[in-house]
C-alpha cells in the first residue's frame, strides 16, 4: 500500500518514471493559466500526500538508491529540455527536473513543511513561464522559439519576464532554487556532488539555448502587442517576492 | 571530371571563379580604409537594376523601409509632385484595368499612410477565391488539397530554384529540409581557417606552412585536425582525392551532383556568401607590392576549394548521422517522393511555419510516419491558406479604408480574378517603391541646391586677400572654410587632399612606404622624410620602457609571469585614459619625446647623389653593426676600416679586414660577421642595387614639379592676385581605440594623412626655379608669397601649420594674425559640429567649450563616435567659390574649385570627374548602402566588433569580415542620421563642354547615364540655367526660370 502511495506521490512530485503522469496532466490542461495552476498545485498535493505517510513506512526514500533515481530523473529531464523549443514544454521539463531534487529534502530528513516551500522554488517560475507561453500563443499563434528570434526587441516585457523566470528555474542566485540546490549539495556527501554538478551544467546548457532562441536574431514576422503595464508589474512582483523570500527564508533556514 | 584535370579544365574552373568574383567589391585592409561602392561590380548596370541584383546576391536591402521615407516626407524632404509622377508612370505602364479601383489613389495611400513594411507579404496559397472569402467574412469554400505535383513544383521553386538570384547550395538545401546547421558550421570553420592564414601579425603563434599558399597550408593542417576527427569528419579521405584546388572544386561539385551548367551560379553564391572575406582575398591577390600577399599567397580559387572541401565533409557527415540525402539529385528525389513531408520541413526549418503548428510539425517529423506527415501537411496547408487570406484581406481592407469609401466599395465588388491582379500589381509596386522614394527625395534636394547655389550678385573686390587656403574637397572642410571666410579677408579653394601629387611616403621612423594618393592610382615617386637635426642615437627612457611593455602585451606567457608585477602599471594607464583622456595623452606624448624637425626629399637625385646616399647608409649600418656585434664605439674605428668592410661585404675585395686582424678575431668569427653584414644589416650588392632602384624613384624632377604646381593652381582658378600666405591644408583625424580611424582620414590620400602631400607641394611651389618656370607659363607668383603646409584635424577642427621654420622673416609679422584667425575658425566650426554630436546642449555661445569638448571626444577611447566623418554627404560642386560663398551647406558638400575659362581643352575637368568625383561617388554609395542595410552592407554596431588579423573587423567572436560603415557612424538615436541619397554633382561649365568631356570618359559616362551620380550642369554661357539629367535627358530645371526642354545629347557619342 505504501508503495502505491509512493507511486502516487511520485506522479505529483515528479520522479521518473511516474513523472510521465505529471507531465501528461500539465500538457493536456488547456490554457496557460490552467497549466500554471496545475504546476503549482500538483507538487503541493504531492508533498501533502507525502506528509500523510510516515517516514518509517517508506524507508526507500531515504536510501541511496532513491537518491540515484532522483538524480537520474533530474538529469534526464534537463537533458530532454535542451532540444525543446516550445516554451511551455521547456518550462514543464525543467520544472520536472528541479522538483525531483526536492525529494532529497525528504531523503535527508528535512521537514515536510520545508519541502512544501521548497517546491515553490521551481513551480512558481515554471508557472510564470507557462502563463507567458499562453499569452504569447494568444498573441502570435504559438510559443515556439527559434522560428524568428529577436523577440527581445518585439515584445521586451514578455521577453524580460520569460528570461527572469528561466533564470529562476536553473538555480541562479538569488532565486530560491539556488538556495534549495545549495542545501541539497550541503547535506549530501561529496560523492553526490558530481551528478548534481552535472545537472547544473545541463541546466546551464539548456538555458543558453533557450535564451539564444528567445532573445537574439532579427525578427521579421508579424508584429503583435506586448504585455500591458499591470501584467508586467504583476510578473515583476512575483519574481521579486521570490527573490526576497529566498533571501529571507534561506537565510533563516541556514542560520544566517 | 576525374582526378587529373587537364590544363584546360583547370583554367575553366579558374575562369568561373574569376567571373563569379566580379560582383564582389574588393575590401582594403582597415589600416588604410578605402570607401568603396559595395555594388562596384555591378556599376555597368543602371542603378535600380544593380540594386535589385545586388540585394539578391548579398541578401541585403537596397532602400530604406517605407516608414523612414514617410518620416522624411513629414519633415518636408520629399517632392510630392515628383512622387506623384512616378506613381502615374507606374500605373500607365502596368495598366491593370481594375474596375472600380483608382490605382493611383491606392498606391498613394500605400506610400503615405501604410505603416506595414510589406503590403503584400510572400504567400504560398493565396488566390482570389480565398481572398474573396476572407474579405466577405465567409468560411473558406472547401477546395481540394494540393496534389503532390503542385506541391513538388512549389518546393522546386523554393528549395531547388534554378534562377540565379535565388540559388541555394546543397548544404543550405539540407538545412532547410532537415534542420541541420551545415551552413553556419561551414562558415565558422572556414572563417577560423581564414583567420589562421591571413593573420598579419596580430597572433603571436602563426599558422605553419603559409608560404605554400592558402589551400596547401590549410590542407596540411586539416589532415591532422583532431576536432574534425572527433566529430567523425573524415577530411583526410576527402583531401586524399585531389591535390590541386581547381581539381578539388570540380571533384566536390561532381560529388554533390551539381550539373555543370549550374557551376557558375553555384560558385557565385558560394563566394558571395562570405563576401567580406572574399572581397579581402580578392584585394590581396590583385594588390601590387602587398607585403603579406607576397609572403603568403592566396586567391579566391584557394578560398573556394577550402570552402568546398569543408562543405563536402559536412554534407557527408550529415548523411551518415542524420540519414539525409548526400547530394543534389538525392535531395530532388526526396522532394519529389515525399513532397508533403518536404513542405512541412521547409516550413518549420525555414522559419515560415505558422507559430501554432510548429510544435506539432516538429513532433511529427521526429516520429517520421509518412501518413501522419501527409495528413498534418494537408491540414496545415488549409490553415495556412486561411491565414494568408485573412492577413491579406485585413491589409487590403485597411488600405481601402485609408483611401476612402469609394475604394472600400470597389474592393468589395472586385472579382476573384481582379483581386489576384490587384495583389500582383501592389506587389510589383512594392518592389519598385524604394526607387521612387529615392528619386522624389533627391528631387527635393536638387530643388534646394539650385535655389541656394547661384553666382553671387556682387563681384569680389580685387583686393589682395590676407591669406588663401587650399583645403581638401572633403565635406568636413566646408564649415571651416565658411567660418574662416566669414572671419576676415580669407579666400579658400577646394582640391583633392593629395593636391594632385601622388607620392609614396617613407615617414621618419617608419620602415614601410605608404601610398598617399587615391586608391585608383599608384604613386611612381617616393618621398623620404629625414630629420633636420642630427642627434646621437638614443631613445628616451619611456620609449624604451614602452617597447618592453609592448613585448609583454604580445607574449603568450607574460600573463602568467608578469601580471602581478606590472599589472598595476597597466592599470594606471587604464584609469588615466578613461578619466582624464586629454591630460593622459598629452603626458604620454611628452614622455615619448617629440618628433624631431624634419625635411622632405622632394628633388630627384642624380645617379651620383643616389650612389653617395647608398654608400652613406651602408657606412652607417656598418658602424652600427660594429657597435652591436663587436662592441666597438665610433671612436675606435676609422673611415678606412669602414670602407674596407664595405668593400668586402659587397664582394669587391677579399678578407680578412685589417680591423678584425687587429681585434684578433678568428677566421670563422670574421666570416660570421661579414655574413651578418650582408644578411642582417643588408650591406650587399643585391640590396644596394634595390636601394639604387628605390632611390631612382625618389623625388620629382624640376619639370614634374612645375607641372604639379601649375596644375594645382590653374585647375582651381588661382593664377593671379596671390596673397602673402597660401596655405595647403591636408586633413587627418584623431581618435583612440578606433579600428575605423583610417576611414576618418583623407580618402584622397589613400586613407592616410594629407600633410606630407601638402608639404611636398609647398616645397615645390616655394622654389625659385619652379616659380621662374611658372612665370613662363603665365602664372606669376609674387616674391612675397609663401606656401605654407598645414593639417586640418577633422575631429578637433584644429588647423596646425608646419614648416614654419622655413617662413621668411618678414612673414613672421603676420603669422600671429593668421594663427588667430585659424584658431577662431576652429572654435566656430567646433561649436557648429558639437551641436550635432552632443545634442541638447548649447554650443554656439561658447565655442571655446565646444572646442574643448571636441578635443576630449577625440582622445576618449570609449567614444564610439569621435566625429560624424563624411556622414550626410550629399552634394559635389565643381566650380567657383562664388557659387557657394557664404552659403551654409551644413558640411554636406564636396567643394572642388574649378574655372572652366582656364580649361579650354577640358583636361582639368577630365581629371576632376575621373578621380575626385568618382571617389566622391564611392564615398557616397558606401554611406548609402551602409545606411539602408547597416547589418548587411554596413558593419553593424561597433559594440560587438573585434579586430581580425589587423586588417578587418568581425562581429563577435567570428563572423564574415565586416565591410561598410558601422551603425554609430550613420545612425543617431536609432534613426538614420545619414540620408541615403545618391551624390548630386553640380558642375559650373557650359553644357556642351561638359558633355564633350564626359563623352571622353567611359567610366564616368557609365556612372552618369546609369544613374549612379545625379548631375546638374550650371551653364554660365546660358544665363546660369540649371540642366538636370533626368532619365537620360538634360532638362532645364523650372527654377532656372525657363520651362523649355532641352535634349542636348549630341556631345555624348
Nearest to B875 by CA among B888, B886, B866: B888
B225-251: burial string, b at 16+ Cβ within 10 Å, e else: beebeeeebebeebbeebebbbbbbbb
Q: Is pLDDT above 70 for B114? A: yes
- The alpha carbon torsion through A192, A194, A200, A202 (nearest 10 deg) reads -130
b/e map B316-347, b = 16+ CB within 10 Å = bbbeeeeebbbbbeebbebbeebbbbbbbbbb
The verdict on a CB contact (< 8 Å) between A142 and B356 is yes
Nearest to A146 by CA among B358, B873, B804, B627: B358
CB nearest B358 (choices: A144, A218, A222): A144
Which residue's entry shows cell 570540380? B250
Give me the mean pLDDT over the B327-333 stretch: 90
* B358 with A85: Cβ contact below 8 A: yes
The whole-number pLDDT of residue B461 equals 58
Chain A: residue nearest B118 by CA? A222
Distances (CA, A) of B861 to B583, B592, B740, B962: 13, 19, 13, 21
Give chain A's domain count: 1
Residue with cell 540525402: B325
> Which among B861, B789, B872 is positioned nearest to B836, based on CA atoms?
B872
Cell numbers at A56, concatenated: 518509517
Residue of B nearest to A140 (CA): B355
Nearest to B355 among A89, A140, A218 (CB): A140
Peptide bond into B961 cis (omega under 30): no
Mean pLDDT of B606-620: 84
User: Chain B within 8 Å of A213 (Cβ-Cβ)?
Assistant: no
Q: Does A23 touch chain B (CB under 8 A)?
A: no
List of chain A residues whose C-beta atoms are within 8 Å of the C-beta of residue B354: 141-142
Asked whether the beta carbons of B362 and A85 are under 8 A apart, the reply is yes
The yes-or-no verdict on residue B544 having pLDDT over 60 is no
Cα nearest neighbour of A218 on chain B: B935
Q: Is the pLDDT of residue B1044 over 50?
A: no
Whether pLDDT at B220 is above 50: yes
Q: Which residues of A touch B935 (CB under 8 A)?
A: 218
Contacts of A217 in chain B (CB under 8 A): none
Q: How many CB pairs under 8 A join A and B?
A: 32
Whether the ω angle into residue A65 lies within 30 degrees of 0, i.e. cis, is: no
Predicted ipTM of the assembly? 0.89
Residue A255 has pLDDT above 80, yes or no: no
Q: Is the pLDDT of residue B403 over 80?
A: yes
Mean pLDDT, rounded, for B535-554: 53
Question: What DSSP line would sit under B227-296, residue for residue?
Answer: HHHHTT--HHHHHHT-SSHHHHHHHHHHHTT--GGGHHHHHHHHHHHTHHHHHHHHHHHH-TT-HHHHHS
To 10 degrees, what angle do helices B263-273 and B300-321 make? 100
Give the C-alpha separation, B473 to B452, whole Å.
19
Does the pLDDT of residue B241 top 60, yes or no? yes
Better pLDDT: B733 or B168:
B733
pLDDT tops 90 at residue A252? no
Pairing outcome for strands B467-472 and B799-801: unpaired
Judged by CB atoms closer than 8 Å, whether chains meet at A222 and B391 is answered as yes
The residue among B116, B123, B358, B398 with the most chain A CBs within 10 A of its CB, best to mutate, is: B358
Cβ-nearest to A142 among B358, B391, B935: B358
CA-nearest of B988, B1036, B1028 to B1008 is B1028
Is the CB of A86 inside 8 Å of chain B's CB atoms?
yes
- pLDDT value for B1052: 40
Average pLDDT over residues B897-916: 93
Q: What is the mean pLDDT of residues B31-60?
A: 92
Peptide bond into B656 cis (omega under 30): yes
With 0-12 / 13-18 / 19 or more C-beta atoms within 10 angstroms meaning exposed / middle / buried, residue A51 is middle
Contact residues for A43 (Cβ-Cβ < 8 A; gap 6+): A12, A13, A14, A99, A102, A119, A122, A123
Q: Residue B100: how many CB atoms within 10 A of its CB?
A: 13
The Cα of A229 is separated from the nearest Cα of chain B by a number of Å equal to 24
Chain B nearest CA to A196, separation (Å):
27
Interface residue of A85, A138, A141 to substitute, partner B, most B CBs within 10 Å: A141
Partner B contacted by A140 (CB < 8 A): yes
pLDDT at B440 over 70: yes
Report the alpha-carbon angle B164-B166-B168, nearest 5: 95
d(CA A37, CA A26) in angstroms, rounded, equals 9
- pLDDT reported for residue A5: 81
Which residue on chain A is closest to B115 by alpha carbon? A223
Nearest CA-CA partner of B818 in B726, B895, B886: B726
Q: State the best of B356, B359, B934 to mutate against chain A, taking most chain A CBs within 10 Å.
A: B359
The Cβ-side half-sphere exposure at B602, using a 13 Å CA radius, reads 24
Give yes or no for residue B123 having a pLDDT over 80.
Answer: yes
The beta-carbon neighbor of A141 closest among B351, B355, B362 is B355
Decide if A218 and B362 are in contact by the 8 Å CB cutoff: no
Closest Cα partner for B856 from B586, B612, B479? B586
Return the pLDDT at B146: 80
Is A9 in contact with A52 (CB distance < 8 Å)? no
CA of B501 to nearest chain A CA: how many angstroms apart?
A: 47
C-alpha B487: how far from chain center? 36
Instruction: Tell me which chain A residue has its CA closest to the CA of residue B388.
Output: A222
Rounded to whole angstroms, how far apart are CA atoms B927 and B979?
9
Q: What gap in Å lies between CA A100 and CA A104, rounded to an integer? A: 8
Cβ of residue A167 closer than 8 Å to a chain B Cβ: no
Q: Is the pLDDT of residue B135 over 70?
A: yes
| Total H helices, total E strands in chain A | 13, 0
Q: Which residues of B touch A140 (CB under 8 A)?
A: 355
What DSSP state is assigned to residue B752? B
Q: Does A83 touch chain B (CB under 8 A)?
A: no
Cα–Cα distance for residue pair A179/A174, rounded to 1 Å: 8
pLDDT the model gives residue B336? 87
CB contact under 8 A, B935 and A218: yes
DSSP A144: B
Q: Which residue of B has its CA nearest to A221?
A: B352
Q: Which residues of A touch B358 (CB under 8 A)?
A: 85-86, 142, 144, 147
Contact A137 B355 (CB under 8 A): yes
Give the residue among B69, B65, B38, B73 at the shortest CA–CA distance from B54: B38
Residue B496 pLDDT class (50, 70, 90 cuts): very high
pLDDT reading at B164 higher than 50: no
Using the beta-carbon criterion (under 8 Å), do B355 and A143 form an inter-chain contact? yes
Cell representation of residue B235: 577530411
- Max mean pLDDT among A42-56, B680-694, B999-1013, B1025-1039 falls in B999-1013
Which of A3-17, B158-172, B781-795 is least confident?
B158-172
Candidates A89, A141, A148; nearest CB to B356: A141
Structure confidence by residue, pLDDT tens digits, A192-247? 888 889 999 999 999 999 999 999 887 878 888 999 999 999 999 999 999 999 88
Average pLDDT, chain A: 89
Which residues of B lie inside 8 Å of A (Cβ-Cβ)? 351, 353-359, 362, 391, 935
Which stretch of A143-152, B78-87, B705-714 has the lowest confidence by average pLDDT?
A: A143-152
The maximal CA–CA distance of chain B, rounded, in angstroms, is 113
Q: Residues B649-665: pLDDT tens digits?
A: 888 888 777 877 778 88
Distance CA(B906)–CA(B113), nearest Å, equals 49
User: B470-483: per-residue pLDDT in tens?
Assistant: 999 999 999 999 99
Flag if A144 and B362 touch (Cβ within 8 Å): yes
Give the H or E element holding residue B693.
Answer: helix B685-696
Rounded distance, CA B1051 to CA B308, Å? 50
The single residue listed with the C-alpha cell 579566391 is B300
A113 touches chain B (CB under 8 A): no
The single residue listed with the C-alpha cell 581618435 is B735
- The distance of A111 to chain B (nearest Cα, Å) reads 40
| Residues of chain B neighbouring A141 (CB-CB closer than 8 A) | 354-356
Q: What is the pLDDT of residue B1051?
A: 40
Longest Cα–Cα distance in chain A: 59
Contacts of B670 (CB under 8 A, 6+ apart): B655, B656, B657, B660
CA distances from B814 to B148, B493, B730, B809 (A): 89, 21, 22, 10
Nearest to A241, CA basis, from A167, A166, A175: A175
Asked whether the beta carbons of residue A142 and residue B355 sit closer than 8 angstroms, the reply is: yes
DSSP element (H, E) containing B1013: strand B1013-1019
What is the pLDDT at residue B538?
47
Select from A85, A142, A143, A216 the residue whose CB has the most chain B CBs within 10 Å, as the one to mutate to test that interface. Answer: A142
The better pLDDT of the pair A21, A149 is held by A21
Q: For residue A143, what is the nearest residue in chain B, using CA coordinates?
A: B355
In what helix (H) or strand (E) does residue B504 lie, and over which residues does it extend? strand B503-506
B-chain CB neighbours of A31 within 8 Å are none
Statement: residue B254 has pLDDT above 70: yes
Closest-CA residue to B788 (of B734, B851, B733, B722): B722
What's the whole-number mean pLDDT along residues B944-963?
A: 93
Q: Give the Cα separation of B91 and A107 in Å (integer).
A: 79
Q: Does A137 touch chain B (CB under 8 A)?
A: yes
- Give me the residue spans of the domains in chain B: 79-162+328-432, 163-327, 467-528+699-976, 529-696, 989-1040
Using CA coordinates, name the residue in chain A closest to B391: A222
Pull the grid cell for residue A228. Answer: 500591458
For the CA atoms of B532, B538, B543, B546, what is the dihedral angle to 10 degrees?
140
**What is the distance in angstroms between the Cα of A225 and the nearest Cα belonging to chain B?**
15
A90 contact B CB<8A: no
Q: Lowest-pLDDT range, B310-314, B524-528, B567-571, B902-906? A: B567-571
Residue A223 contacts residue A154 (beta carbons within 8 Å): yes
Task: Count other Cβ atoms within 10 Å, centred on residue B42.
Answer: 22
Judging contacts by C-beta atoms under 8 Å, the chain B residues touching residue A218 are 935
Which residues span the domain enclosing A203? 2-253
Q: Looking at CA atoms only, how far is residue A136 from chain B in angstroms?
A: 10
Contact B316, B67 (CB under 8 A): no
Which residue, among B794, B785, B804, B791, has the nearest Cα to B743 in the 3D structure?
B794
Amino acid at each position: 500500500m505504501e508503495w502505491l502511495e509512493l507511486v502516487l506521490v511520485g506522479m505529483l512530485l515528479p520522479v521518473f518514471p511516474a513523472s510521465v503522469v505529471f507531465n501528461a496532466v500539465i500538457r493536456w490542461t488547456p490554457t496557460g493559466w490552467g497549466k500554471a495552476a496545475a504546476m503549482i498545485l500538483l507538487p503541493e498535493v504531492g508533498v501533502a500526500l507525502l506528509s500523510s505517510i510516515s517516514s518509517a513506512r517508506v524507508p526507500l526514500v531515504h536510501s541511496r538508491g532513491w537518491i540515484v533515481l532522483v538524480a537520474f530523473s533530474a538529469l534526464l529531464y534537463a537533458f530532454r529540455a535542451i532540444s525543446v523549443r516550445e516554451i511551455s514544454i521547456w518550462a514543464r521539463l525543467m520544472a520536472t527536473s528541479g522538483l525531483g531534487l526536492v525529494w532529497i529534502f525528504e531523503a535527508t530528513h528535512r521537514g515536510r513543511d520545508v519541502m512544501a516551500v521548497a517546491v515553490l522554488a521551481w513551480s512558481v517560475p515554471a508557472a510564470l513561464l507557462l502563463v507567458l507561453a499562453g499569452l504569447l500563443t494568444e498573441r502570435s499563434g504559438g510559443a515556439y522559439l527559434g522560428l524568428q528570434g529577436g523577440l527581445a526587441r518585439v515584445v521586451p516585457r514578455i521577453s524580460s519576464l520569460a528570461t527572469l523566470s528561466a533564470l529562476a528555474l536553473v538555480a541562479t542566485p538569488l532565486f530560491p532554487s539556488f538556495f534549495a540546490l545549495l542545501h541539497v549539495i550541503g547535506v549530501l556527501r561529496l560523492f553526490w556532488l558530481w551528478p548534481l554538478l552535472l545537472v547544473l551544467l545541463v541546466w546551464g546548457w539548456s538555458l543558453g539555448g533557450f535564451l539564444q532562441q528567445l532573445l537574439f536574431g532579427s525578427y521579421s514576422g508579424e508584429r503583435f502587442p506586448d504585455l500591458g503595464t499591470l501584467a508586467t508589474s504583476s510578473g515583476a512582483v512575483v519574481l521579486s517576492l521570490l527573490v526576497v523570500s529566498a533571501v529571507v527564508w534561506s537565510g533563516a533556514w541556514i542560520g544566517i | 571530371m576525374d582526378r587529373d584535370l587537364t590544363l584546360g579544365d583547370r583554367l575553366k574552373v579558374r575562369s568561373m571563379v574569376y567571373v563569379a568574383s566580379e560582383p564582389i567589391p574588393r575590401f582594403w585592409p582597415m589600416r588604410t580604409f578605402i570607401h568603396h561602392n559595395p555594388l562596384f561590380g555591378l556599376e555597368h548596370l543602371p542603378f535600380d537594376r544593380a540594386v535589385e541584383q545586388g540585394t539578391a546576391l548579398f541578401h541585403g536591402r537596397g532602400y530604406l523601409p517605407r516608414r523612414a521615407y514617410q518620416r522624411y516626407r513629414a519633415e518636408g524632404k520629399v517632392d510630392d509632385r515628383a512622387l506623384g509622377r512616378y506613381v502615374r508612370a507606374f500605373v500607365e505602364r502596368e495598366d491593370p484595368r481594375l474596375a472600380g479601383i483608382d490605382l493611383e489613389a491606392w498606391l498613394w495611400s500605400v506610400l503615405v499612410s501604410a505603416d506595414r513594411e510589406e503590403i503584400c507579404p510572400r504567400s504560398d496559397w493565396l488566390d482570389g477565391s480565398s481572398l474573396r472569402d476572407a474579405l466577405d467574412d465567409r468560411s473558406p469554400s472547401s477546395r481540394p488539397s494540393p496534389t503532390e505535383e503542385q506541391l513538388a513544383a512549389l518546393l522546386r521553386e523554393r528549395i531547388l530554384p534554378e534562377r540565379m538570384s535565388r540559388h541555394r547550395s546543397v548544404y543550405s538545401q539540407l538545412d532547410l529540409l532537415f534542420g541541420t546547421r551545415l551552413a553556419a558550421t561551414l562558415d565558422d570553420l572556414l572563417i577560423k581557417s581564414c583567420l589562421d592564414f591571413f593573420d598579419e601579425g596580430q597572433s603571436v603563434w602563426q599558422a605553419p606552412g603559409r608560404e605554400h599558399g592558402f589551400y596547401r597550408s590549410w590542407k596540411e593542417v586539416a589532415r591532422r585536425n583532431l576536432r574534425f576527427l572527433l566529430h567523425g569528419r573524415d577530411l583526410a579521405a576527402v583531401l586524399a582525392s585531389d591535390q590541386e584546388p581547381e581539381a578539388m572544386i570540380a571533384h566536390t561539385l561532381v560529388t554533390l551532383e551539381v550539373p555543370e551548367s549550374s557551376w557558375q551560379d553555384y560558385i557565385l553564391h558560394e563566394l558571395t556568401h562570405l563576401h567580406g572575406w572574399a572581397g579581402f582575398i580578392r584585394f590581396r591577390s590583385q594588390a601590387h607590392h602587398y607585403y603579406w600577399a607576397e609572403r603568403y599567397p592566396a586567391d579566391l580559387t584557394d578560398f573556394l576549394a577550402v570552402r568546398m572541401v569543408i562543405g563536402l565533409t559536412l554534407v557527408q557527415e550529415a548523411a551518415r548521422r542524420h540519414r539525409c540525402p548526400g547530394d543534389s539529385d538525392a535531395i530532388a528525389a526526396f522532394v519529389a517522393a515525399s513532397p508533403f513531408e518536404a513542405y512541412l520541413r521547409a516550413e518549420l526549418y525555414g522559419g515560415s511555419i505558422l507559430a501554432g503548428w510548429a510544435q506539432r510539425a516538429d513532433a511529427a517529423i521526429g516520429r517520421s510516419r509518412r501518413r501522419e506527415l501527409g495528413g498534418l501537411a494537408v491540414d496545415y496547408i488549409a490553415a495556412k491558406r486561411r491565414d494568408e487570406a485573412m492577413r491579406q484581406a485585413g491589409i487590403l481592407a485597411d488600405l481601402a479604408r485609408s483611401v476612402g469609401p469609394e475604394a472600400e466599395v470597389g474592393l468589395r465588388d472586385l472579382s476573384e480574378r481582379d483581386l489576384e491582379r490587384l495583389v500582383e500589381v501592389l506587389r510589383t509596386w512594392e518592389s519598385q517603391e524604394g526607387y521612387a522614394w529615392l528619386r522624389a527625395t533627391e528631387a527635393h534636394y536638387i530643388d534646394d541646391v539650385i535655389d541656394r547655389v547661384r553666382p553671387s550678385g556682387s563681384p569680389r573686390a580685387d583686393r589682395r586677400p590676407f591669406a588663401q587656403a587650399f583645403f581638401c574637397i572633403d565635406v568636413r572642410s566646408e564649415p571651416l572654410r565658411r567660418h574662416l571666410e566669414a572671419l576676415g579677408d580669407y579666400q579658400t579653394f577646394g582640391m583633392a587632399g593629395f593636391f594632385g601629387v601622388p607620392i609614396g611616403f617613407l615617414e621618419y621612423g617608419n620602415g614601410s612606404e605608404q601610398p598617399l594618393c587615391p586608391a585608383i592610382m599608384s604613386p611612381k615617386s617616393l618621398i623620404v622624410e629625414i630629420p633636420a637635426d642630427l642627434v646621437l642615437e638614443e631613445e628616451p627612457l619611456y620609449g624604451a620602457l614602452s617597447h618592453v611593455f609592448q613585448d609583454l602585451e604580445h607574449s603568450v606567457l607574460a600573463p602568467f609571469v608578469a601580471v602581478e608585477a606590472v599589472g598595476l602599471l597597466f592599470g594606471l594607464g587604464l584609469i588615466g585614459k578613461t578619466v582624464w583622456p586629454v591630460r593622459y595623452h598629452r603626458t604620454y606624448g611628452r614622455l615619448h619625446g617629440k618628433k624631431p624637425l624634419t625635411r622632405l626629399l622632394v628633388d630627384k637625385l642624380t645617379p651620383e647623389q643616389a650612389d653617395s646616399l647608398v654608400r652613406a647608409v651602408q657606412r652607417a649600418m656598418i658602424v652600427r653593426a660594429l657597435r652591436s656585434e663587436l662592441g666597438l664605439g665610433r671612436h675606435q674605428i676609422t673611415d678606412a676600416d669602414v670602407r674596407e668592410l664595405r668593400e668586402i661585404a659587397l664582394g669587391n675585395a677579399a678578407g680578412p679586414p685589417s680591423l678584425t686582424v687587429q681585434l684578433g678575431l678568428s677566421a670563422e668569427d670574421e666570416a660570421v660577421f661579414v655574413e651578418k653584414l650582408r644578411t642582417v644589416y643588408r650591406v650587399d650588392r643585391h640590396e644596394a642595387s634595390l636601394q639604387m632602384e628605390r632611390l631612382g624613384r625618389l623625388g620629382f624632377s624640376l619639370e614634374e614639379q612645375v607641372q604639379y604646381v601649375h596644375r594645382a593652381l590653374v585647375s582651381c582658378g588661382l593664377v593671379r592676385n596671390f596673397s602673402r600666405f597660401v596655405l595647403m591644408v591636408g586633413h587627418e583625424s584623431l581618435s583612440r581605440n578606433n579600428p575605423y580611424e583610417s576611414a576618418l582620414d583623407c580618402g584622397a590620400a589613400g586613407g592616410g594623412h594629407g600633410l606630407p602631400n601638402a608639404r611636398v607641394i609647398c616645397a615645390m611651389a616655394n622654389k625659385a626655379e619652379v616659380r621662374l618656370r611658372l612665370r613662363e607659363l603665365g602664372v606669376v607668383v609674387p616674391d612675397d608669397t609663401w606656401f605654407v603646409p598645414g593639417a586640418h584635424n577633422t575631429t578637433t577642427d584644429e588647423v596646425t601649420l608646419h614648416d614654419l621654420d622655413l617662413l621668411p622673416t618678414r612673414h613672421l609679422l603676420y603669422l600671429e594674425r593668421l594663427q588667430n584667425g585659424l584658431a577662431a575658425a576652429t572654435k566656430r566650426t567646433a561649436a557648429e559640429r558639437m551641436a550635432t554630436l552632443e545634442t541638447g546642449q548649447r554650443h554656439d555661445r561658447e565655442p571655446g567649450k565646444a572646442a574643448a569638448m571636441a578635443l576630449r571626444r577625440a582622445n576618449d577611447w570609449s567614444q564610439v563616435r569621435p566625429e560624424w566623418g563624411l556622414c550626410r554627404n550629399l552634394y559635389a560642386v565643381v566650380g567657383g567659390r562664388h557659387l557657394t560663398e557664404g552659403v551654409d551647406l551644413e558640411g554636406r558638400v564636396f567643394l572642388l574649385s574649378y574655372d572652366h575659362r582656364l580649361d579650354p581643352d577640358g583636361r582639368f575637368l577630365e581629371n576632376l570627374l575621373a578621380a575626385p568625383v568618382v571617389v566622391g561617388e564611392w564615398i557616397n554609395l558606401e554611406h548609402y548602402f551602409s545606411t539602408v542595410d547597416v547589418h548587411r552592407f554596413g558593419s553593424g554596431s561597433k559594440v560587438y566588433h573585434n579586430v581580425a588579423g589587423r586588417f578587418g573587423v568581425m562581429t563577435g567572436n567570428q563572423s564574415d569580415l565586416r565591410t561598410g560603415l558601422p551603425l554609430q557612424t550613420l545612425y543617431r538615436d536609432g534613426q538614420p542620421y545619414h540620408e541615403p541619397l545618391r551624390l548630386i554633382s553640380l558642375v559650373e561649365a557650359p553644357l556642351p563642354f561638359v558633355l564633350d568631356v564626359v563623352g571622353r570618359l567611359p567610366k564616368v559616362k557609365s556612372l552618369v547615364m546609369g544613374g549612379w551620380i545625379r548631375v546638374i550642369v550650371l551653364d554660365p554661357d546660358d544665363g546660369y540655367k540649371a540642366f538636370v539629367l533626368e532619365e537620360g535627358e538634360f532638362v532645364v530645371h523650372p527654377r532656372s526660370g525657363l520651362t523649355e526642354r532641352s535634349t542636348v545629347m549630341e556631345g555624348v557619342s
